Amino acid sequence: MSTVRVRFAPSPTGFFHIGSARTALFNWLYARHTGGTFVLRVEDTDKERNTEESLQCLKDGMKWLGLDWDEGPEKGGDFGPYFQSERDPIYQEALETLRAKDRVYEKEGATWFKISGDPQVIEDQVRGTVSRTEEKDFVIFRSDGSPVFHFVNVVDDIKMGITHVIRGEDHLSNTSKHTELFKAFDAPIPVFAHIPLILKQEGQGKMSKRDKGALLEDYEKEGFFPAAIRNYLCLLGWSPKDDREIIPFDEIIQLFDFKGINKDNARFDEKKMTFFNTEYLRMLPLDEVVSKSKPILSEAGLINDSTDEAYLKNVLEICQEKLRSLPTLPEFVDYFFKEDFAFNEKAKTKIFKKGEPLERLKEVLNLLKNLSLFEKENIQKSITELAETNEQGIGSYFQILRFAISGTSGGPHIDALIETLGQEKTVKRIKTFLENQ
């Protein structure tokens, strides 16, 4: 097993943010790529803001994304506790170590760390060589006795044997403080990789929890696929260098390394993520589409226990390639399951603008009701021949036909739609439509 140990160390003070999810994902990917260990460490020292609800939201979000941790809450491990609120004895012991080395002093009730004044140089795996010199001593314990982020972060990384620190670029300015502390403890300095920030999709600046599209749980509620979110988040700051976008996740794990991480900040694009989700929906095995669709269609009142399983499967099979998302499924397929479907007035106006659509519909009705082989290949062939005989474009038949039997101007291929509805239902709908005009 690899000696690589990485950690995701969130504070449970709100919802699971897209930026945090991307940081967790990059750490998880590097651990899986190297065969290393992914540690979940909860930085819950802010007692006023930390909530059990936020912690649960965080854990549920990670599980939903498929980011399983090897050590941490619920899993345990040899380097616990994994909640900073339970590690106070460890911090006190570390403080005494620094005190014995004469690296701390008290001032105004707080405990200050004495800097070395030496340049702090790191070879960042993304940013390259970064040098910064701390010019002022800094507080490591507040006057109320609580430890500061910089101190606990470094102590935990040392005690937990963290070898690689992968975090947002906004932490780069903290790193010189951290390397000062690592050296003061005579501890090995981990490999740092500061990944690019995620910028909000509108306006300037880093994406925050308040920005549109920032909260992971919203996508879960909206029926997004975790695999699509993972794939999209990978490409916010990392690239396989071959211009591909939809990549099997096993392959992403295999390809993921620091060389592929970009220096430039990445702008979040919710439309692009929706595109990824649609592509994943289209690649989903039909049996999974059926199982995921049943509760949605049932809740919409379109199917029940007596619904024909083979018919349902046929409907979903011909609609899958045109479907944008599962939550929009009921409105996309409602006319397959009820006769009182709505007619799109905009589509009707467009269809009735030219030619003689009702005449075309009467002609195609006469054809379809007498068709002996009601299969899509024969339906397509017969309507094509009808159009040629009458010197009409095939679209003039298909457009009004689709509208008459579905109330829409789009959807699955028309011949597959007609075949799935069946001869009796198709003919009946055309007759009803003509009677009502």
The residue with tokens 């880093």 is 206
Query: Which residues have CB under 8 Å from 257's CB, separation 6+?
Result: 30, 33
- Strand duo 138-141 + 110-113: pairing: antiparallel
The CA radius of gyration of the chain, in Å to the nearest whole number, is 30
Separation CA 82–CA 90 (nearest Å): 12
Residue 429 near residue 400, CB atoms below 8 Å: no
3 state DSSP class of 31: helix
Separation CA 90–CA 41 (nearest Å): 15
Q: Which residues are catalytically annotated?
A: 209
Residue 362 near residue 434, CB atoms below 8 Å: yes
As given in the structure block, the two tokens for residue 26 are 């990059």
What CA–CA distances, in Å, run from 337 to 196, 300, 405? 48, 11, 12
156: how many CB neighbours lie within 10 A of its CB?
Answer: 22
Residue 181 near residue 113, CB atoms below 8 Å: yes
3 state DSSP class of 49: coil
As given in the structure block, the two tokens for residue 380 are 């397509």
Query: Which residues have CB under 8 Å from 22's CB, separation 6+?
Result: 195, 198, 233, 236, 237
355: how many CB neighbours lie within 10 A of its CB?
Answer: 15
- How is the beta sheet containing 104-107 ordered, strand by strand? 104-107, 110-113, 138-141
Length, in residues, of the chain? 437
